[in-house]
A and B are shown apart, each in its own frame.
Chain A
Amino acid sequence: MAAKTLTIDGKQISADQGATILDAATDAGITIPTLCHLDGVYDVGACRLCLVEVAGINKLLPACTTRVHEGMVIKTDSERLRKYRRMTLELLFAERNHVCAVCVANGHCELQSLAYSLGMDHVRYDYRFPKWGVDNTHTLFGMDHNRCILCMRCVRVCWHIEGAGTKNVSGRGSGSQIISDLNQPWGTSDTCTRCGKCVMACPTGALFAKGATVSEMERDRTRLEFIVTAREKKQWIA
């Protein structure tokens, strides 16, 4: 595999051909904020947090789905990018009911920690306070739609890692909703294998293991890593 050389934030780096800008940056120790990206599953470019500036291209490009080219000059951080990222987070916090103080994921939430790290200290948009429910019908897990940011990680791991195909999306626009099977209570799903991968993949408190209370929901991402490395590298890590 041929290597490509490029510049990210002034740093000269080399990356494998076919690598994404996000891969290259991560290798070089440069952090690009992401929400919909999850190591091991294919990328969809949905959250738009990872947008970067590439010299000579007047559009912002998502780092997670854009492949590196020879001689690319990339900026992952600028006043403008930081502003857009903060606004994206503000829009998310205003969209559903993210009440950190009473959330199982408090302190272990990617949305929350991004808000800290990107300096989103308040939300200037009207909170929508939509009426979303909680699905507690599953014996092991629960789904709180109020916390969902529609990153589709759960859908992707359910289809492409576990292969169960339980999770899906219904509706469109701000009415989009994560559903189980044919939009039925999760507990009545015939396809759910109760593997818990969606719960481990979720960045917020939307999917949780039952029994956890405020701030207790820690994610164990190694459950995904095991299958992904087995598939991609043919190694069975213990």
Chain B
Amino acid sequence: MVEDSRLASPTDEELVQRVREGDEQAMNVLVDRHHVVVFRTCAAILNDEDLAADASQNSFIKAFKAVARFRGEAAFRTWLLAIAGNEARGLLRKVKRRREDRLEDVGVLPSGGGDPSAEVTLQSEVARVRAVLADLPEKQRLSVSLRIFEGLSFREIGETIDSTEGSARVNYHHGIQRLRELLGS
């Protein structure tokens, strides 16, 4: 239990070093600390709770397997979120392929994007907001989600979406503008 108390508030970087040395408890602390932001990143891309949970799990496994190649130039969280974004996009591609195969099998064509403001009129408030969010370009969606749901700075969002701080800010404000147009104020 001495080990546990020393793990009470170490930095991410200290924990990563312990993971490199094979410390399973350090992995658990990193999971406790970051699973929600990883989940929200995956959910912003996948727009589905179950898929986001699967992608979150795989993200941590892949991050821990790759931890020897994390050298600490970026924050661990930023590096982890980049892995999570990749994992979610990979899963999204798989799901889409599966869905398209199924639709071809039964001779039904995808319904298409359509007008989100028309499609969502009969849905609940939460479903409406999610539907409009889901129709934003990915960088806008991630910028809005990580800024509002997780309070990440524009700088960290920029690093997470492979972009600059200024670009993250612009993507955020364009996303908010679009949401205002489609949801009304």
Q: Is B truly associated with A?
A: no
B interface, CB within 8 angstroms of A = none
